[in-house]
Amino acid sequence: MDATITSERRRSWTMPTVYTILFAIIALIAALTWIMPAGKYDYKTADSGEIIAAADVGNYDGGERLLPIPGSYTQLESNPQGVVDVLMAPIKGFYKAADVALFVLIIGGFLSVTIKTGAMDAGVGAVINRFKGREQWLIPILMALFALGGSSYGMAEETVAFWALLLPVMAAAGYDRMVTAGIILLGSGVGVLASTVNPFATGIASRFADLPIGDGIGLRMVIFVVLLALASFYVMRYAAKIKADSSKSILADQEYDDNFSREIEVVELTTRRKLTLLVFLATFAIMVYGVMPLEDIGVTAVPTLWWWFDELSTLFLTASILIALINWQPEHEFVSTFLEGARDLIGVALVVAVARGIYVVMGDGLIVDTVLNWTEGLVTGLSSGAFIVVSYVSHLVLAFLIPSTSGLATVSMPLMGPLADFANVSRELVVTAYQSATGWINMISPTSGHLIAGLALARIPYDRYLKWVAPFMGMTFLITIVILFIAA
């Protein structure tokens, strides 16, 4: 009897929600602040070259980007994070991620208003009819587009908006939600991993390694082609399997009752609905143009807008109002529909805030530079092949703790660049190792805000995604290491 009860309890155990996982990571990082020594590098300002002593870095408010000075790490008085700090971390994280959280809520309202018009059903029906019998070719085409966005301008947070666009399309084509996750997360993730002219990864890292952005682009293009082909094959193979037998879906036991799982109604694609879809799609196109740093990649024929989340939120709010006007929605109906959609994504906004709390605890506990200093010690004195492999693995750890590609480039490249010279490794190879590591870890890390937000929006359990993507991540890890080692 006791054995039976124990067996039933084991079978009934379920993976904790992503909120619990993130809180556990926050608590773990807080515990490490009691064990790890606190410390900082001396920094210098990027433009004026002013030296900021380690003890004064936390109080610097001059506005310039700060660069760590190799060999200057200094231990400081410990600032361990306690229970109150752990509980406050998501609150502070919400302040720091307020722009992203608001963007997510407005996306929810925008989607709800669009669905209300029937234009989404009509548009999805038209797409499926157009690709009838060839639905599988939507997958590599879309993945290539996301990969190009990731490689050219670091498309990551912006992908949250595209889940709402693709979920109903893939569902109507007979695929489960993991196919959408693969298209968006692996497509953009491979692009970021193999960034070619991404100014937020390749650009910043190259600048701090004293290199032109084009150095090393040939090797990165090879990685891009190889990994995009692998990712497309991986997702297409899974999609074909579950279309043939839906019981083989990794999400087969999940039940969904949201807008993305409803039956697509066959509705007429009227002129008004065509205008609605035009605004809907144009909003995404304008978003991509608004965030692309064209000036940084040498495009001057059109102006660079330098938009970010404030402007993007305004864009989607404006598009929601325009769609309501096109469809003559009464004011009270528009407001209630918009708020209903925003309410559905409150959980996604909170996930982003809790994830940002991890870095809050690390920063307040003064252990970010300590981890960086240990990495500096690991790679010093290694042979060229060993150096590049250890540099790659070290950046995996750093990227988990510092999910911002530009933030990690700022703190690691001023150190790794000079160390590469001593190991007889070209600096552009270190830049490639850094961006490959950040792209790889951000496809699975719970500290990656866009990943967690997307999974939460689609209601895909984080553990199911990890189980599904694990073989691909293993192959990608090995392929990247082999390419880097041969190049070194």
Asked if residue 10 is part of any domain, the answer here is no
The pLDDT, as a whole number, for residue 200 is 65
**Residue 109 falls within a domain, yes or no?**
yes
Residue 484: what residue type? L
Nearest-angstrom CA–CA distance, 291 and 279 = 18
Can you give the residue range of the structural domain that contains 336? 19-53+65-487
Q: Is residue 8 situated within a structural domain?
A: no
On whether the CB atoms of residues 231 and 225 are closer than 8 A, the answer is no
Task: Confirm whether 127 is domain-assigned.
Answer: yes
User: What is the number of H-type helices and E-type strands within the chain?
Assistant: 21, 5
The reply to whether 43 falls in a domain is yes
Is 353 within a domain? yes
Asked whether residue 445 is domain-assigned, the answer is yes
Burial, 318: exposed, middle or buried (Cβ in 10 Å; 0-12, 13-18, 19+)? Answer: middle
* Tens digit of pLDDT at every position of the chain (488 positions): 455 555 555 555 566 776 787 788 889 889 989 998 988 888 888 777 788 888 888 778 777 777 778 778 888 888 899 999 999 988 888 887 788 788 878 888 887 898 788 887 777 667 767 777 777 888 998 898 888 878 876 777 767 777 877 888 888 888 999 999 999 999 999 999 998 867 667 776 887 777 776 778 889 989 999 999 999 999 999 999 998 898 999 998 888 776 666 555 556 778 888 899 899 888 878 877 887 767 766 777 888 787 877 888 899 899 999 999 999 999 999 999 999 888 877 876 787 777 778 778 888 888 878 877 887 777 777 788 888 998 899 889 888 877 777 667 777 777 777 778 777 888 889 899 999 998 999 899 887 878 988 898 888 999 899 999 999 999 999 999 999 999 88
How many other CB atoms are there within 10 angstroms of residue 470's CB atom? 11
Domain count, the chain: 1
Give me the pLDDT at residue 343, please.
86
Does residue 85 belong to any structural domain of this protein?
yes
Task: Say whether pTM exceeds 0.85.
Answer: no
Please name which of 480, 448, 482 lies closest in space to residue 462, comparing C-alpha atoms.
448
H/E stretch holding 222:
helix 217-244
